[in-house]
Structure 1
Amino acid sequence: MEAAQETPDRPPLDRGALGDAAFLSANGIPQLSVVESTGSTNADLLHGVTVDPQAWPDLSVLAAEYQSAARGRLDRHWEAPARSSVSVSIVLRPVNAEGRPLPTQSYSWLSLLAALALREALLETAGIPAELKWPNDVLVRGKKIAGILAQLGPLGDGAVPPVVLGTGLNVTLTASELPVPTATSVLLEQPATVDRTALLKSYLSRFATLYRSFCNADGDPAAGMAGGPSLHKRVEHVLTTLGKQVRAQLPGDHEIIGHASRLDDYGSLLVVDAGGHEHLVTAGDVVHLRPWTPPGEARGESGYA
């Protein structure tokens, strides 16, 4: 339980460490900008890749100390105190080592790849064990610590369509500052550190390694990557959604209740209903995905309608 609250120390991101030429070069990051305040880093980069595509090459990074109009999936809005989070967006132009564009159907894996990279960064940098919740959340002990949003940019003149990948990680939010009771922050999870610069550098390094390996495998989630198992296997291994009874509310008041069995080749969730029928649920379609306990049965901590 959290002790009596004082506002934690919230130093700025270390722009010198983030802009270090050796760090950027080692991770293939052509530019990394930090702004004090903006509406949304995702919106800024979507505007940037539309107005001046050449100014935002692959793996360009924009971070903000404060966002006033951050958006999540389904256009959900949230706002956190300045310097309390890692708020960062990355421009992706996925091509393989020969410069051949990845098939756009592989883009659905990018948010899961980012979640995996953030999970690794949290474990190594802060000593916090995390899991993934399909399609785009990172959880610690069942509570959301981060969300990820991938948005497709304009196709332009036939070039590779860019993706803007935004990540919001709660770092020093106190219990009273959390947006919902089912959220958490690095500060609240007995971390080894709450250094946002160290967390951001670790995340970007892991993301760049996994991303480049994924691109060089032509976006094949079944290919071994970065000297280890495939992206598909890595994600399924830490995906807390699998094996649970879930209720997926879809657009148009449709609902699927069943057993979350596996991910398909495109990162979509396969849900088996009571009749044994398998349903494909895509990240773009799902409105809500929640653990589900049949009426009349005892509900554990993770089971709720």
Structure 2
Amino acid sequence: MDDARTQGTPLDRTELADQRFLLAAGIPRLDVVDSTGSTNADLLRAVASDPAAWTDLSVLTAEYQTAARGRLERHWEAPPLSSVSVSVVLRPVNAEGRPLPTDTYSWLSLIAAVALRETLLETAGIPAELKWPNDVLVRGRKIAGILAQLAPMVDGSVPVVLGTGLNVTLREEDLPVPTATSVVLESPRTVNRTELLKSYLSHFASLYRSFCNADGDPAAGLAGGPSLHKRVESVMATLGKQVRAQLPGDHEIIGHATRLDEFGSLLVVDRDGREHVVTAGDVVHLRPWTPPDSSGQDGYA
């Protein structure tokens, strides 16, 4: 790929402000800022101070984040113009305006992961899969992470701020860890951040609205296709693998990841056959476990 194409370029703000795009996606507001600590943190503050200004599917994106935050309070910083950093306000209600139960909110980050996977495949020509709970992988390396945060309001409503960070033009030396990757490193059709952002928001809005109109039922058909539950499981690299689930409080479970339950939690069966429900935490994919043999030796290969 030409070196010029790998250099980060500013988002096309005129294209992002195109009313045809915004209306088609159902996005009432899309703000672009040059630099910020964290789009999620900014939106959490904005929603709390002026909720009427940030309605459902309002978007904030930044050219440069200096204090991005992920799960387990991890922080990182990417070079300017090298990533898609975007947060969306979600106030999930069905077609009649009835709020979705908060126990369905665990699926929102998975909707984002599916939408981003579809974007990478269709727009950039890159095959991707999901790692529970909400990472997107390409050939086993992390290309994007997603973080959902609740924003409880004084009126009792609980909006969600959903942040997504996609590595776009980061070179090997820019990556935060050796197990990460970026769009440019995967021989893509494009590294145009505006195209990638618009595609992601369009995919996400379609899946999200369909999910809301199904009252947050992950088993319902979604956007003219299979259910969210089936879509997620079909592209979830974690399922079928031996994993170590690192849980809050320094606990861990090692076992076989078998499926997702109706809330998107990961079910892990340990070597004694006990099934554990993992609702939060970090998951590490392990090499396959070798069952006990006649010599009495066992363990993970």
Range into which the TM-score falls when normalised by the shorter chain: over 0.9
| CA displacement at 1:251 relative to structure 2 | 2.5
1:293 aligned to 2:290?
Answer: no
| CA displacement at 1:282 relative to structure 2 | 0.6
Distance, in Å, in 2 between the alignment partners of 1:293 and 1:191 is 29
SS at 2:256's partner residue? strand
Instruction: State the partner residue of 1:300.
Output: none
Instruction: State the partner residue of 1:27.
Output: 25
Structure 1 runs (4+) deviating above 6 angstroms are 294-297
1:257 aligned to 2:250?
Answer: no
| CA displacement at 1:296 relative to structure 2 | 8.5
SS at 2:61's partner residue? strand
TM-score (norm 2): 0.94
Instruction: State the partner residue of 1:119.
Output: 117
Q: Residues 295 and 101 (structure 1 numbering): CA distance in 2 closer, same or farther, change over 3 Å?
A: closer
2:188 partner amino acid: P
- Cα RMSD after superposing both structures: 1.9
State whether residues 241 and 288 of structure 2, in contact with CA within 8 Å, keep that contact through their aligned partners in structure 1. no
Query: For 1:162-173, what aligned pairs fall within 5 Å after superposition?
Result: 162-173=159-170
Query: For 1:206-225, what aligned pairs fall within 5 Å after superposition?
Result: 206-225=203-222
Distance, in Å, in 2 between the alignment partners of 1:8 and 1:190 is 11
Instruction: State the partner residue of 1:131.
Output: 129
SS at 2:252's partner residue? strand
Question: Residue deviations 1:107-126, cap 9 Å, x none?
Answer: 00000000000000010000
Query: For 1:173-252, what aligned pairs fall within 5 Å after superposition?
Result: 173-252=170-249
Identical counterparts, % of pairs? 75
State whether residues 242 and 289 of structure 2, in contact with CA within 8 Å, keep that contact through their aligned partners in structure 1. no
Instruction: State the partner residue of 2:59.
Output: 61
Q: Any stretches of 5+ residues in structure 1 without a counterpart?
A: 298-303
| CA displacement at 1:250 relative to structure 2 | 1.6
Q: Any stretches of 5+ residues in structure 2 without a counterpart?
A: 292-299
Aligned length in residues: 293
Query: For 1:45-84, what aligned pairs fall within 5 Å after superposition?
Result: 45-84=43-82
| CA displacement at 1:254 relative to structure 2 | 2.0
Question: Residue deviations 1:68-87, cap 9 Å, x none?
Answer: 11100011000000000000
| CA displacement at 1:99 relative to structure 2 | 0.2
TM-score (norm 1): 0.93
| CA displacement at 1:253 relative to structure 2 | 2.8
State whether residues 112 and 204 of structure 2, in contact with CA within 8 Å, keep that contact through their aligned partners in structure 1. yes
| CA displacement at 1:91 relative to structure 2 | 0.2
State whether residues 48 and 153 of structure 2, in contact with CA within 8 Å, keep that contact through their aligned partners in structure 1. no
